[in-house]
Structure 1
Amino acid sequence: MHTEGVEERTYEDGLPQWFVRSECRGCGLKVGVDLPAGQMGGLIDRLTWTDEALHRLDRMPPYLAPLVREEVEQDVRARGERVVAYDTLLRPRTGERIVWDPEAERRLDNVPAPVRAMARVELERTAAERGSARITVSLMEEVKAKYFGMGAQKA
Structure 2
Amino acid sequence: MNTPIHPLLVHFPIALLIFGVIFQFIALWKKDFFNKMALYLFGSGFVMGIVSYMTGDSAIPDAREKWGQATRSMVETHEHYALITMIIFGAILFLKLLMYFKPFKWMMPLIIVLCTAGTTTLTLTGHYGGKMVYNSPAKTSAQTSAK
Which bracket does the TM-score occupy, shorter chain normalised? under 0.3
Structure with the higher helix share, 1 or 2 = 2
Asked which structure has the greater RCO (Cα within 8 Å, sep 6+), the reply is 2
TM-score, structure 2 normalization: 0.23
TM-score, structure 1 normalization: 0.22
